Amino acid sequence: MLVLGRKELERLLTPAAVIRAVESAFARYARGEATVPSRLALTAEEGGLLLLMPSALAGTALGAKLVSVYPKNRERGLPTIFATYVLMEPGTGRPLVLLEGGFLTGIRTGATSALAARYLARPDSRVIACFGAGVQAAFQLRCLATVFAVERVLVVGRSRERAERFCETMARELGMPVTLAETPGQAVSQADLVTCATTSPTPVFAGTDLRPGTHVDAVGAFRPATREVDTETVARARVVVDTYAGAWEEAGDVLIPIKEGAISRSSVHAELAELVIGTKAGRQGRDEITLFKSVGFALEDAAAARLAYDEARAASAGVEVDLG
C-alpha cells in the first residue's frame, strides 16, 4: 500500500485538477454511478466529533475518511481538524493508498465551492469577502482564484492578529491585495462573492448587507443547530446545496430557516449534481443573490484521493508499506 503525506499531496494536487475531478464525480453521482451512505457522527471528549465518511464510485474508487473535529484545539495550538483517508481497489477491496486527509479535505472542499460558484456567481466577480482566517479559508481563496479573475480580498476573522497574518500570507501567495475588513458589513457590502469557512455556530454577517448579484459560499457549519448565514440571506437567495440528503440532515443554515417558517424545503432550488449535468439552472440574472450551502460530501474525497493516487503512481511519489 502507498502512503501519501501532506507534502506529497501539495505537490500532486492542484486546485484546477481537483475541480475537474470533483465535477466528474458529481456528474457520475447524478447518473447513479456512485453510492454514498450518510455520514456517521460520534460525539467525543472535550466537545470533539468523530466523523466516518464512506463512498464508492463505480469502477474508480472505494474508500472512507475518518475526521476528528475539535474546536477547542485552536486554544491548544493544534489544528481543529485531523483526517485520514483510505482508498481501496473497487473490484477487490485491496488497500491502495493511505492519505493525509487534512489537505485532501481542504482542497476538495475549496474545489467544490469553486465548482458551485462557476454556476452561481457572476462571471465577472472580482472582489471576495472571506469570513475565516484558517486552513479552509485559504483553500477557498486558492480555488476561487482558479475560477475567477479575483482582484482583491477582504478578510474578517475572530482574532485580529491571526487574520492579519493570514492576509499577509495569502497576499503573497495569490499576488493580490488581501486586507483586513473593518467590519463584516464593510466586507459584504463591497463583495461580489462571499465565502464563509469558520467554526462559528451563529451567523457571521447580516443578510441585509448583501448587494444584488452577490454569491455566497457557506462551508463551515455542518450540524443541524449551527449556521454561518442568517435567515435573511437564505430567504433572499437562490439556494443550492451539495446534496439534498446531507442538507436535510446537517445543514443548519437551511434547516433553521425552515424551522422558523421563513422558507420551505421547496425553496432549495437544486443540489450541485443537477447543475453539473444541466437538469437545473444556476444563476438566472445579474442581480440575483445565490447561496451554495455545503456540509461535505464523501464522494468529493474519493474523487480527490483517486486523483492523488494516480498522480503519485505516475510520479513515483509516496512511500510503499507492506501490511501483510
Domains and CATH numbers, the chain: 2-105+299-320 (3.30.1780.10), 114-296 (3.40.50.720)
Catalytic residue among 7, 65, 72, 259: 65
| 37-42 contacts, C-beta under 8 A, 24 or more apart | 37/298, 38/245, 38/246, 38/249, 39/246, 39/249, 39/250, 39/296, 39/298
The residues, any chain, with a CB within 8 Å of residue 316's CB and separated by 6 or more, are none
- One-letter-per-residue 3-state SS of the chain: CEEECHHHHHHHCCHHHHHHHHHHHHHHHHCCCEECCCCEEEECHHHCEEEEEEEEECCCEEEEEEEEECCCHHHHCCCCEEEEEEEECCCCCCEEEEEEHHHHHHHHHHHHHHHHHHHHCCCCCCEEEEECCCHHHHHHHHHHHHHCCCCEEEEECCCHHHHHHHHHHHHHHHCCCEEECCCHHHHHHHCCEEEECCCCCCCCCCHHHCCCCCEEEECCCCCCCCCCCCHHHHHHCEEEECCHHHHHHHCHHHHHHHHHCCCCHHHEEEEHHHHHHCCCCCCCCCCCCEEEECCCCHHHHHHHHHHHHHHHHHHCCCEECCCC
Residue 39 confidence (pLDDT): 87
As a dihedral over the C-alpha atoms of residue 226, residue 232, residue 233, residue 235, rounded to 10 degrees, the angle is 100
Q: Residue 163 has which C-alpha cell?
A: 487574520
102-135 b/e (C-beta count within 10 Å ≥ 16 → b):
bbbbbbbbbbbbbbbbbbbbbeebebbbbbbbbb
Beta carbons of 279 and 30 less than 8 angstroms apart:
yes
Residue 75 confidence (pLDDT): 86
In tens digits, the chain (324 residues) has pLDDT values of 999 999 999 999 999 999 999 999 999 999 999 999 988 999 999 889 999 999 999 999 999 999 998 988 988 988 888 999 999 999 999 999 999 999 999 999 999 999 999 999 999 999 999 999 999 999 999 999 999 999 999 999 989 999 999 999 999 999 999 999 999 999 999 999 999 999 899 999 999 999 999 999 999 988 899 999 999 999 999 999 999 999 999 999 999 999 999 999 999 999 999 999 999 999 999 999 999 999 999 999 999 999 999 999 999 999 999 887
Residue 166 confidence (pLDDT): 97
Residue 35 confidence (pLDDT): 96
Residue 7 bears catalytic tag = no
Residue 4 confidence (pLDDT): 98
Residue 80 confidence (pLDDT): 83
Q: What is the rounded distance in angstroms from the CA atom of residue 55 to the CA atom of residue 133?
A: 30
